[in-house]
């Protein structure tokens, strides 16, 4: 990964309390896993931003190196990598995602 790409991803992650690197956009998810993440965050009623990896192949590959996670979507909350669709579903079902989000938005 180039230093420029790392800096670009760093900036995106730091500027957004809740950020999802996904296929498509929050209005038009382009895969089921990305859609799951969007639906969960919409259910929580929290503000979040998305980055469409399909429109930027450099970020699509770079984010996998950045987080050391092989799949998309990838969710970052308060600058920390949380996981993908399965992890988000699990955290949501346990009630832990709501806490994570509330703490992030309060800080």
Question: Tell me: the pLDDT tens digits for 81-93?
Answer: 999 999 999 999 9
Total number of domains in the chain: 1
Mean pLDDT for all residues in the chain: 96
Dihedral sign of CA atoms 94, 68, 73, 8 in order: positive
CA pair distance 47, 67, nearest whole angstrom: 22
18-22 and 49-52 as β-strands: parallel, antiparallel, unpaired? parallel
Query: 9-38, pLDDT tens digit by residue?
Result: 999 999 999 999 999 999 999 999 999 999
Q: What is the CATH number of the domain that holds 83?
A: 3.40.30.10
Residue 107 has pLDDT above 90, yes or no: no
Within-domain flag for 52:
yes
Phi-psi region of 105 (alpha: psi -120 to 50; beta: other; left: phi over 0): alpha
- The mean pLDDT value for 41-57 works out to 96
106 part of a folded domain = no
């Amino acid at each position: 990964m180039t230093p420029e790409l790392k800096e670009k991803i760093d900036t995106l992650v730091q500027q957004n309390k809740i950020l999802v690197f996904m296929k498509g956009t929050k209005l038009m998810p382009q895969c089921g896993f990305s859609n799951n993440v969007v639906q969960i965050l919409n259910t929580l009623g929290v503000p979040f931003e998305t980055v469409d990896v399909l429109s930027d192949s450099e970020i699509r590959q770079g984010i996998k190196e950045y987080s050391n996670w092989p799949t998309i979507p990838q969710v970052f909350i308060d600058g920390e990598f949380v996981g993908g669709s399965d992890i988000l579903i699990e955290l949501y079902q346990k009630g832990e995602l709501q806490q994570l989000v509330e703490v992030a938005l309060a800080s």
